Amino acid sequence: MNTLYVELCSGLSSDIFLGALYGLASVYDKIVDLPEKLNLPDRHGI
């Protein structure tokens, strides 16, 4: 499991940030497939 630490000191509120992460979670498969569709090398092995 990977861990992401975020310090929200730039004025971004935590509820807005969590809402954005939730929105990304629903399209996770599309995001993971994007490098292959763009013919980019798989350097991170997601």
Is 41 strand, coil or helix? coil
- pTM of the complete model: 0.47
Per-residue tens of pLDDT for the chain, all 46 residues: 788 787 777 777 878 888 888 888 888 888 888 888 888 876 665 5
- Asked whether the beta carbons of 3 and 9 are under 8 A apart, the reply is no
Give the length of the chain.
Answer: 46
**What does the radius of gyration of the chain's CA atoms come to, in whole angstroms?**
14
**For helices 28-37 and 14-25, what crossing angle results, to 10°?**
60
